[in-house]
Amino acid sequence: MQPPGPQHGLSQSQSQQQNLSPQMRQSLEVLQSSTMELSQLINQIAEMNPTLEISEDIEQLDNTPEPDAEHDLENLSEFDDTWREDQILAHGSSQASTAGEALRDFIYNSIVEPKTLQQHLIDQLNRSAVDNDRHAAAEHLIGYINNQGFLDDNIDTLVTASPYTIKQLRSAQTLIQGFDPAGVAAENLTESLLLQLQLTGRGNSLESRIVDQHLTDLARHKYSDIARNLGVTQASVVEAADNISKLNPNPGVSFDSTSNPHVLPDLEIRKDIEGSYYAHLTNEYIPTLRISNHYKDLLAKINTDSKARKFLRENIHESRQIMNAVSQRQETLLKIGVEIILHQSEFLKYGRGKLRPMTMHSIADKVGVHAATISRAVSGKYILTPHGLMELRTFFSSGYTTNQGTEISNTGVRDAIQHLVNDEDTAKPLSDTAIEKQLKTKGIKVARRTIAKYRDQLGILPSHLRKRHS
């Protein structure tokens, strides 16, 4: 069967978005929300829905199916909780309005702003008119974009652990590179800066030529050398350098959740009394929810065909939906934690340098969900490990196999590079070639250009700029 053409894909994409129910939108918000965002969302919904109570006591969620539950959240009131309760008790009816429904929709759509780069990119992807295959490949690739806005590895490497072809991933990369922020989804700094120039109509400018051919000279302020090599005046190089300095070398910086000092872990890896590791949900700042007994009793007393009964049924149904969505979020996170423990035993013993490659697609198969669900579930979430607080998405990357047959993730390679630079003689800093050779002695074969890219991602200057004279 041939894949759908562009027109068919556009129609199908639009149809899917039109059919996205309020419950589904809410479930997606709950799944991808950080702990603090989820707490805020729950509190906002509880303020508007009198049947949803935030309990101070630890209780099991009330998952009892309601009779004749409505499938959609409709006829939502625009009035505050107190007014609605008084109206139900006094008059036995409630008037819903289109304005109220619009207000509720607005709150659902705006309460949880995308706080991570990955969420921001997914939001733009969902608004793009692309066919299903390209959408799925792009969603997969977004899972490999780090907080700096760069791909964790080049496409040629990522494709080896991907269900998509290199052509599909390249197409997805081109799509994402058209998103905000400019320069995102590049494989290195040079490519990111060139993208930013291209998106502002300066793809063939002097700035682009300097970035493409003389970025190292630019960092060392060798304006006269650049001018001579490019056949332009030094004044024009200085002006171009000023323009380049206004570009963003770190496209994802404004979305970097690690800059937030109030990061809270959703998961924790603990040891039991026998020394075995297990995953634990912290549930910190996530309130315990329940359906108000008062309104459940009131529902039983109201006439079957009354508007008040319909209003209560809809609100109780909504309350169960948010409770179920929270339960599903927590269950998915716990399953991911279990898979991390099963897959990363060496990391748990020895630290980040022993992280093994692990893809969202492989974990999705184990957990029994789509890879996109894993991507949303880990976005903006943190896990407390024996080796410190880590972002969950850190565990998802491709990697390398050492000469001894041991797998090591890209994160492990970057950590190895960082340790080598930390321990180097600052009077004779290690070149990328020297780092390549030292990694090779450890059984890790990584190309020099890949080392340069990882060093760039770590914010480590080239060796000639790290040199310090005693």
Domain with residue 451: its CATH number is 1.10.10.60
pLDDT surpassing 50 at residue 108: no
| CA atoms of 272 and 284, how far apart (whole Å) | 20
Evaluate if residue 358 carries a pLDDT over 50: yes
Q: Is the pLDDT of residue 17 over 60?
A: no
pLDDT digits (tens, 9 = 90+) for 372-421: 788 888 888 888 888 888 888 888 876 655 555 555 667 778 878 888 88
Query: How many domains does the chain fold into?
Result: 1
Q: What is the mean pLDDT of residues 214-221?
A: 84
Residue 91 has pLDDT above 80, yes or no: no
Per-residue confidence band for 12, with pLDDT thresholds at 50, 70 and 90: very low
Please calculate the CA angle 425-427-432 and round it to the nearest 5 degrees. 65
pLDDT higher at 302 or 418? 418
- pLDDT value at position 366? 87
Is the pLDDT reported for residue 197 higher than 70?
yes
- Could you give the residue ranges of the DSSP H alpha helices within 280-431? 293-301, 307-343, 345-350, 360-367, 371-378, 410-422
Residues in the chain, overall count:
470
- Which is more confidently placed, 28 or 9? 28
Mean per-residue pLDDT over the chain, rounded? 76
| Band of residue 230 on the pLDDT scale cut at 50, 70, 90 | very high
Percent of the chain's residues with pLDDT above 70:
77
pLDDT surpasses 60 at 166: yes
Residue 120 has pLDDT above 90, yes or no: no
- What is the average per-residue pLDDT within 195-218? 89
pLDDT above 80: residue 345: yes
Tally of CB atoms within 10 A around 362? 17
Determine how β-strand 52-55 pairs with β-strand 288-291.
antiparallel
Contact indicator for 414, 399 with CB cutoff of 8 Å: no
Residue 350 within a domain: no
- Whether 450 is covered by a domain: the verdict is yes
| Its pTM surpasses 0.95 | no
Q: Is residue 427 part of a domain?
A: yes
CB 131 within 8 A of CB 12: yes
Domain limits for position 403:
399-466
| pLDDT at residue 95 is higher than 50 | no
Residue 281 pLDDT greater than 60, yes or no: yes
Over range 102-123, report the average pLDDT: 57
pLDDT at 206 over 90: yes
Decide if 298 is inside a domain.
no
**Rounded mean pLDDT of 89-115?**
42
Residue 335 banded pLDDT, cuts 50, 70, 90? very high
Query: Of the ranges 58-67, 240-249, 335-344, 436-445, which one carries the lowest mean pLDDT score?
Result: 58-67
Higher local confidence (pLDDT), 298 or 284: 298
- Summarize the chain as % helix, strand, coil (round to 5): 55, 10, 35
Q: Comparing 160-169, 263-272, 439-448, which segment has the lowest mean pLDDT?
A: 439-448
Token pair for 144: 């490999």
Residue 33 DSSP SS3: coil
pLDDT at 169: 93
The pLDDT assigned to 393 comes to: 83
In whole angstroms, give the CA distance from residue 160 to residue 169: 11
- Give residue 462's pLDDT: 80
Distance between start and end Cα atoms, the chain: 69
Whether residue 331 is contained in a domain is answered as no
- Residue 207's pLDDT band (cuts 50, 70, 90): very high
Position 388 in a domain: no
Residue 421 lies in a domain: yes
**Does residue 422 lie within any of the structural domains?**
yes
Residue 79: predicted pLDDT: 26
Quote the pLDDT of residue 92. 39
- pLDDT at position 277 is 92
Q: Which amino acid is at 124?
A: Q
Q: Where are the alpha helices (DSSP H) in 360-462?
A: 360-367, 371-378, 410-422, 432-441, 448-457
H/E segment holding residue 218: helix 206-219
